[in-house]
Structure 1
Amino acid sequence: MPQTTANGIRLTYETYGPETGAPLLLICGLGMQMIRWPQGFLDALVARGFHVIAMDNRDVGLSQGFDEAGVPDLQAIVAERQAGRWPAAPYCLSDMAADCAGLLDALGIAQAHVAGMSMGGMIAQLVACDHRAKALSLTSIMSTTSEPGLPPGTPAALEALSKPRPHPDDDLETFLKLSVAASRAIGSPAFPAPEAEIHARALADARRAWRPQGFARQYAAIMASPGRAAKLAALDLPATVIHGVQDPLVRFEGGKATAEAIPGCELVAIEGMGHDLPTELHARIADALAATAERARAAA
């Protein structure tokens, strides 16, 4: 996969669809490699006229890592937040948004539609807010404003997110078993993925790059970054929030709060959807992104 230097670091990316299509930057969630964007979803976006740019965020996949920063003490970081103080972290979400803007610059793309899921939605929001000239539109998928008072994930979902897994080189069987269980815990109740599909995704993750220390630093970045409601309220671009009503990890209230914060934002609430991108919903979600892009084209 191609690599480039952006915002001073090495980023790995891939493109899909003709360069004549409308540029769309996809930003992954916490600890997720870009291979987690389902191929069927990418195909649906290309079919709707997009030139898709997917990327590995810093500290995950094949992009540059920050191992020299060490592993943050997540319990201490959470305690700092609970005490009303902002913890220190190796980097923040704003740095990751600058990576995204830098990637577009490195690829010679002046403006792009920006979309992200989960933590990637938080980063996409900051691309639109902090690098407004780069964003044609914003789509925030199963994400949140990160403002205080929003309900946390369910205990089962949070446990699935944080439960340590052995390194796949040491115990591949247990790694895959726990990965499948975690996907089940946060997945869509109305659209359960076949176990073979979940297993294949986890195996692909293990074979490409398994970087739990990067996961911890990305989680610290989330915890060390302030809420975005005030910034989102100042946005003046077409925006859509897509969120599963049954999301157990980033609760629906987080998506609703995001939509309410952005002037003119459309909220696509999907019954039966959890914290994943089920095959059955690829076309619907791709349609929502295409409609957001059309709103931007019409307003230009």
Structure 2
Amino acid sequence: MTERVAALPSGIDLCFETFGEPTDPTVLLVMGVGGPMGWWDTDLCRMIADRGYQVVRYDNRDTGRSTKLEGFEVSRVDVVRAWLGLGKAPYGLDALADDAFGLLDHLGVHRAHVVGVSMGGMIAQTMAIAHPERVASLVSMSSTTGRRRVGYQHASVLKPFLADEPMDRDAYVTRTIRGSALIGSPGFPTTEDVHRNRAEETYDRGWIRGGSLRHTLAVLTQPDRTRDLGDLTMPVAVVHGLRDPLVDKSGGRATAAAIPGAELLEIAGMGHDLPAPLWRTFVDVVARTAARAGDPPRS
């Protein structure tokens, strides 16, 4: 397992890693706002690979060791304006979807099983709509359709996530631990040490405030995909925690309702994270959804 860089024709460089055999069907893992590839835990990636898949995880643009678009400065005011339906984003979910397809092209993969969480689920949905022939199956986790009346944030998490504080390493780690406790899974608690280690690794791999803000603007300015989701024909599973305060469970329900034949798995006690006790459940969902597309897991 070695980090590599894909230089895309668009000028974006994406840092990525693979697990498993390149001859196996590919599972592409897409992360959410401000999250580098390591938020897909290495052990979780290996669990998926052990089921007979090549697993690809990567840093979205503006995260980790991928290209940072620091020439496009945004502020908290821009985020508030976007929340109100005003203003524009430096790039949208379509650009992030194009990045993902560019990475698959770099790897010589025409068709992949795409799994996305939070903003990553929105990117995965966008990929499936734009090029359904390239998405063998789709798993959308902790995400929503883009319709503003569903998948909203609960008031308890808005103020901390919009706070304008100094963000050196110590401040970032402290704020991330606090935020993780707010949005994490009450039924599957994660220790503070795990949150701290992840926050330190995220910051040290190249976290920048502007990158997270640009991701947030892409989410807030996304289109309503409900109608287009109704045209999808690949196997789809939707996973959502019933205790998710960052993307309300109505977002998962609306996603599943929009897609004919989609499986909806709601998990009691799960918030807006990927807790270790649920990894086996996540792997099983990915594997059975891929099997519906003709790529059964290894026994």
Q: TM-score, structure 1 length as denominator?
A: 0.93
Conserved 8 A contact 1:26-1:53: yes
Query: What amino acid does structure 2 have at the position aligned with 1:47?
Result: D
* Cα distance, 1:107 vs structure 2: 1.1
Read off the aligned partner of 2:49 and give its amino acid letter: V
Give per-residue Cα distances to partners, 1:85-144, cap 9 Å, x unaligned.
6x3211110111111111111110011000100000000001111021211000001000
Which amino acid letter does the alignment assign opposite residue 154 of structure 2? T
* Residue identity matched to 1:156: S
- Given candidates 63, 76, 84, the residue that maps to 2:81 is 76
RMSD: 1.5
Q: Which residue of 2 aligns with 1:277?
A: 274
Q: Which residue type is aligned with residue 17 of structure 1?
A: G
Change (3 A) 1:234 1:104: same
Is 1:55 aligned to residue 52 of structure 2? no
Shift of 1:219: 0.9
Q: Deviations over 1:204-237 (max 9, x none)?
A: 1121112110111111111222111111001010
Deviation at 1:19, TM superposition (A): 1.3
Structure 1 position 37, deviation (Å): 0.8
2:142 aligned with 1:145, yes or no?
no
Deviating beyond 4 angstroms after TM superposition, the runs of 4 or more aligned structure 1 residues are none
| Counterpart residue type for residue 250 of structure 1 | V
Task: Give secondary structure in 2 for the equivalent of 1:136.
Answer: strand
The CA deviation at 1:180 is: 0.6
Confirm whether residue 25 of structure 1 aligns to residue 28 of structure 2: yes
Which residue, 283, 292, 297 being the options, matches 2:294?
A: 297
The structural deviation recorded for 1:16 is: 0.9
Partner-residue secondary structure (3-state), 2:240:
strand
Paired position in structure 1 for 2:226: 229
Residue of structure 2 equivalent to 1:129: 129
SS of match in other structure, 2:147: coil
Residue 35 (structure 2) pairs with residue 12 (structure 1): no
Quick check: 2:143–2:151 contact (8 Å CA) kept in 1? no
> Structure 1: which 5+ residue stretches go unaligned?
none
Q: TM-score, normalised by structure 2?
A: 0.93
- Tell me which moved more, 20-29 or 149-158: 149-158
Classify 1:151/1:284 alpha carbon distance in 2 versus 1 (closer, same or farther; 3 Å): closer
Pair 1:159–1:295, CA change in 2 (3 A): same
Report the number of matched residues: 291
1:67 alignment partner, SS class = coil
